[in-house]
Each structure stands twice: as structure tokens, then as C-alpha cells.
Amino acid sequence: MKFKKLLSLSTAFLVSASILTGCGSNKGTEKNDISVGIVLGAGSINDQSFNQSTWEGLQKAKDDFGIEIKYLESKQESDYIQNIETLMDEDTDLIIGVGYQLKDSIEESAKNYPEQKFAILDETYDTIQENVIPVVFKEEESAYLVGVMAAKMSKTNKVGFIGGLPAPSVVRYQYGYKYGVTNTNKDTQILEQYVNSFTDQAKGKSIAKQMQSSNADIILAAAGDSGTGAIEAAKEANKYAIGVDRDQSDLAPENVLTSAVKKLNVASYDLVKDLVEGTFKGGAEKVYGLKEGGVGIVENTKNLIPQDVMDYVNKEADKIKNGEIKIPKTEEEYNQLIK
């Protein structure tokens, strides 16, 4: 079905700021008429982190269900509605906003077009539209575990945290990580700084080098593509970095200690699966935590981590699943817990 445009005709054709990729039928699977598109909030589709993980989930869904998939990158805030409208004009069955930046645009579009199915990753609403599924993660749980690991593994008793922008999900990473560190070794100092960008690799690397010069030997960078700069700094200095969102060990196998993963690929795949099977139901959020298998740490770098440390971290994970450990999501909650 075609939808009435929200924007002027001239605006609608200004798609040069975005990159549209469509994928047709796939090998070994009968083609499905269903199409799914994602609109990115910040960064490229190949950011080695948040966006890439989401796209990998759709690629698997394409292979399994024969759907058509596509994405649009956004260079500025004004692209969000425009990109959503572009996908709607192409009769896209499900439009997924990737990142908190899309929150308002997805909500506005969902109100204007109640028959269109939407989802948003990493955000939710006080009042959820009946045609929207918000997907949120308990990043603080995986961040806590890598914080425990950092405190156990640091030789200098000084570690770092680099954030992209203070989005709610990044803040959850920050304070989950800090609590994991301080709850394991209160004498470990934590250096913290924001890049104020999810795409500035050079600045991420520069901040990491500054922290390393101050003797931080392990750094977690929850900063999208900016975080790859921090991993490069760890590689050059022969120190450790901790990956986020997806397994980032391939970027520096000897220097990425572990990764605090949130399975955006699982979330995007599940959304498509629900759509294909006719069970897609908006109006309520989906939450992925450690107990649900939606967040965690990777162990494929365990050659860098002593077994006793892994055993300790795994016991802490069990305590989280059992509700024995309360993990802060904000600065206020963190300060209350460390009193």
C-alpha cells in the first residue's frame, strides 16, 4: 500500500544522504514476499558494533525465511523521518529504528500510520503504540561481568571507560561496568570520558592513549565505531580492550580481553521471525537480559584469561540470574549501592 507523504515531494527525493541496500532472494530458501528495513541512527552499517550486529541478524533471517532486507543510513537528524518514509513508499512490512536517536521519529510515524509495523532497538516508551515493539537490553548485566574481569585482570589497579554519547544504553554500560570493578576491588581506579560521537575513531583512539599514559591497562569502550579506535590503541600499546555489543576479538585477537555482548542480531532476527510466523504483536516491549540469553560475555578469548578468573565471573553471572546481585543502571543507583 502507498502512504501519504509527511514531507514535501522535493524533500522526499533527497536520499543522497542515505545509502539504501536491498537484497533479493537467497540461495536455498524460497523467496518470501515480506520485506524488512532498518533505519540507522548513527554510524555506518559496518561499524563493527551496534549497527553491524543488527544487520547480521537480518542477514540470517533473509537466509532462513527468504525475506527481502534493506537499510538506510542517516547522516543527520532530518534524515530519520525521510528514511522511514522512503521505506514505507517501498511497501516495507516492518521498519526497525536502530538506536535511541530514532525514538521520536518512530513514535511519530507509528501514530501517523497505525497500519504500518514498527520496532525500535535500544529504546522504549511510557506509552507504547499498538503497532510498535520496543526492544531493550540489560546492558548493565554484561557490563558488570566485564567490570569484574577488568578488576581481576588489571596489573595497575587502574582501568578505563570510554562512552560514545550518554545515551541510556551507554550509561547502563558505564555504571554496570563501574560497579563490577568497585564491587570486586574497591582500590581499582576508573578513568571515564565520553567521545561525544559514535563515529570518531581518531578521538576514541586519542582518549584511550591518554588513559593508557595515565597507567590504565584495560579499557571498555561503549562507543560504536569510536570504540574501534580504542581497540586499535590497545593493540598498538600491547594493552587490553574490552569489546561491546558484538564479539570484537577479530579486531585485535591478542588485545581484546573479552566483549560485553548484547545480541542485537538475535533481537532483529526474532522480530522477523515473529513477523513471518504471524505472531508480531506491538504494544509491549521485549527485554533481553542475562537470564534470557540476550546479553553476556564471550569466552573465545579465554586463552587470555586464567581459568580461576573465568570461574569467578561465571559464579557472578549465576548470582545475577538468581537475583542475588542488584546492578545499577544510572549514576544515582550506583552511588546508592557503593555507600
Residue type, 134: P
* 22 vs 167: CA distance, rounded Å: 29
What pLDDT is recorded for position 326?
93
Q: Which helix (H) or strand (E) holds 21?
A: strand 20-23
Q: What stretch of H or E contains 337?
A: helix 331-337
DSSP symbols for 243-291:
EEES--GGG-TTTEEEEEEE-HHHHHHHHHHHHHHT----SS-EEE-TT
C-beta neighbour count of 328 within 10 angstroms: 21
Q: How far apart are CA 154 and CA 149, in angstroms?
A: 8
The CA distance from 256 to 234, in Å, is 8
Q: What is the pLDDT along the chain (339 residues), one digit of tens a residue?
A: 444 333 333 333 333 333 344 444 344 456 679 999 999 987 889 887 889 999 999 999 999 999 999 999 998 999 999 999 999 999 999 999 998 999 999 999 999 999 999 999 999 999 999 999 999 999 999 999 999 999 999 999 999 999 999 989 999 999 999 999 999 999 999 999 999 999 899 999 999 999 999 999 999 999 988 999 999 999 999 999 999 988 899 999 999 999 999 899 999 999 999 999 999 999 999 999 998 888 999 876 678 999 999 999 999 999 999 999 999 999 999 999 998
Instruction: Please tell me the distance from the alpha carbon of residue 240 to that of residue 304, in angstroms, as a whole number.
Output: 10
Burial degree of 156 (CB within 10 A; 0-12, 13-18, 19+):
middle
Contacts of 90 (CB under 8 A, 6+ apart): 35, 37, 70
Strands 117-121 and 94-98: parallel
- Kind plus residue range of the DSSP H or E element containing 82: helix 79-89
Q: Residue 23 forms beta bridges with which residues? A: 69
Among candidate residues 260, 91, 243, the one with its CA nearest the CA of residue 176: 260
DSSP-derived letter for residue 37 is: E
pTM for the model: 0.80
Report the pLDDT value the prediction gives residue 14, as an integer from 0 to 100.
34
**DSSP code per residue over 122-159:** S---SS--TTEEEEEE-HHHHHHHHHHHHHHH-SSSEE
Task: Return the pLDDT at 285.
Answer: 95
Neighbours of 218 (CB within 10 A): 27
**What pLDDT is stored for residue 181 in this prediction?**
98
Max distance between CA atoms of the chain, in angstroms, equals: 63
Q: How far apart are the first and last CA of the chain?
A: 57
Residue 113 zone, left/alpha/beta (φ > 0; ψ -120 to 50; rest):
beta
Q: How far apart, in whole angstroms, are the C-alpha atoms of residue 213 and residue 193?
A: 14
Reference 48, options 200, 222, 251; nearest CA is 251
